[in-house]
Amino acid sequence: MPSWKEIKDYARSKYKLAEDEERYFSLIFGFNDGRSQKIFVRRYEAFDMEWVEFRSVVCNGDKMPPKVALRKNEDFACGALALDGDGDYVLIYNAPLPTMDPDEFELPLHVIAKTADRLESEYSGEDDF
């Protein structure tokens, strides 16, 4: 069973972290087309256990109709769109920390970053990370 410290140490060994705080960290993925996407990884507790959340901002809530966002959720293999407290669409994925191995960390990290960047490009036309 990995600990949050072990997950952070693993991430530090493979990536340059943009932020490195006690309960979360972030990193920026660069893509071949020159775009980039920031993804946050945070630890939280629910159902009497630790969880890891992967989160990346997609666009302002007024850039994508709510029905479109809900329909897109049906097609995602990993993650779901949600509105955050700032009114932005974010792509999030949550996984239990106690059973996480490197593949269970790497896959959602890359999928969320790539999917969020594609949606950001499509709906806002911006590249805010």
CA–CA separation, 53 and 93 (whole Å): 6
Q: 45 in a domain, yes or no? A: yes
Q: Residue 20 maps to which CATH number? A: 3.30.1460.10
Q: What are phi and psi of 20, to 5 degrees?
A: -145, 85
pLDDT at position 129 over 80: no
Per-residue confidence (pLDDT) for residue 1, from 0 to 100: 63
**Contacts for 91 with CB less than 8 Å, ≥ 6 apart:** 55, 56, 58, 76, 79, 80, 81, 112, 115, 116, 119
At residue 125 the predicted structure's pLDDT band, cuts being 50, 70 and 90, is confident
| Complete DSSP assignment for 60-106 | EGGGS-HHHHHHHHHH-SS-EEEE-TTSEEEEEEEEESTT--HHHHH
What mean pLDDT is predicted for residues 4-19?
95
How many domains are there within the chain? 1
Name the residue range of residue 23's domain. Answer: 4-123
Is the whole model's pTM more than 0.75, yes or no?
yes
The pLDDT tens digits of the residues spanning 82-111 come to: 999 999 999 999 999 999 988 889 999 999
